[in-house]
Amino acid sequence: MFERDTLVHLFAGGSGGTIGAILTCPLEVVKTRLQSSSVSLFVSEVQHSSVHGAKSKRVTPGPLRCLKLILEKEGPRSLFKGLGPNLVGVAPSRAIYFGAYSYSKEKLSTVLEPDSTPVHMFSAALAGFCAITATNPIWLIKTRLQLDTRSRGEQRMSVAECIRRVYRADGLRGFYRGMSASYAGISETVVHFVIYENIKLKMMEARGTANMDNDNQAVKGASDFARLMVAAATSKTFATVLAYPHEVIRTRLREEGNKYRFFSQTVSLLWKEEGGQALYRGLTTHLLRQIPNTAIVMCSYEIVVYMLNG
């Protein structure tokens, strides 16, 4: 019975992650470009002074400007760069995560107070560590593909070419660049799940004391899933804003070249060259993508678990 329950959570997590990845891929591409070190150079190359012919000033574009530049230079298909690795990685990543989270929560509940905050925190941290360690090479390939800025009509970088370039430059360890920043980002997952579980508990308590005379189970079920989406979106907003800088650092570490070598060096260099605000580049786009993505993932996860468990 326990093994069946674990498989249910694995399948539900993978299904939710896949649905969310497909629907929010264009925002993921824009966010990654804004986080990268090349975005200001990309703008300076396409802007021109029509009066004096002066060299363009480097600026960091907003999300809409970045989206427009991508469409103009690379075409609509570029908004789905990295979707292949994303789809390959998101199902096992989410499956590993939710499976490990469910397993850890059940085990920790036997030694700590069941469903307590420490149980949710440690379970989320262990689940994040397992998922990151297992799937980092896939996310590195995805990021490299999203940062490929070849113009419309040029041969796009393939997954095979990307793998060869990573291996040629850094060997096997090159596929694990950015993993330290991902580990730092476990704090976001921990905060997210702690808030989510607490909001969900409060909602269950409120529903338990509500008037239960209405026998329309379909209405009550739809209402429950809507509340879960609100809980997921709310918890993710707080967690994302708190831990966002690790996203920028991770993207920089995954770029080609050796300018960004390790976590603390990247933070120091980024602060020195671009200022503290650079640690929050792409936050607006990230929120526009992550909040609906998280709500979709969590709601899909809960629905699949509900359906499979009857």
What would the pLDDT profile of 65-102 be if each residue is shown by its tens digit? 888 888 888 888 888 898 899 888 877 887 888 889 88
Residue 210's pLDDT is 54
State the chain's maximal CA–CA distance in angstroms: 75
Q: What is the spatial distance between Cα 250 and Cα 234, in angstroms, rounded to a whole number?
A: 24
pLDDT > 90 in the chain, percent: 29
Locate 197 and state its tokens: 């579980």
E strand or H helix at 7, and its extent? Answer: helix 2-35
Q: Which residues contact 105 (CB under 8 A, 6 or more apart)?
A: 115, 119, 120, 123
| pLDDT given at position 209 | 58
Rounded to whole angstroms, the Cα distance separating 124 from 102 reads 9
Domains recognised in the chain with CATH numbers: 2-44+58-308 (1.50.40.10)
Distances (CA, A) of 232 to 72, 118, 158, 266: 35, 19, 35, 31
Instruction: Mention every residue, 6+ apart, whose C-beta is less than 8 A from residue 286.
Output: 31, 240, 244, 247
Cα R_g (the chain), whole angstroms:
21
Kindly tell me the sign of the dihedral angle through the C-alpha atoms of 224, 10, 139, 148.
negative
Query: How many C-beta atoms lie closer than 10 Å to residue 285's C-beta?
Result: 24
Cα(307)–Cα(232) distance, integer angstroms? 19
* The pLDDT value given to residue 57: 52
Predicted confidence at residue 59, as pLDDT, reads 67
Question: pLDDT truncated to tens, each residue of the chain (310 aa)?
Answer: 456 776 777 777 777 777 877 888 889 999 999 999 877 655 555 554 444 554 545 567 788 888 888 888 888 888 889 889 988 887 788 788 888 988 898 899 889 888 787 888 888 889 989 999 999 999 999 999 999 988 877 888 999 999 999 999 999 999 999 999 999 998 887 788 778 878 888 877 777 655 444 444 444 466 676 777 788 778 878 888 889 999 999 999 999 988 999 999 999 999 999 888 899 999 999 888 877 777 777 777 778 788 887 6
Name residue 201's amino acid.
L
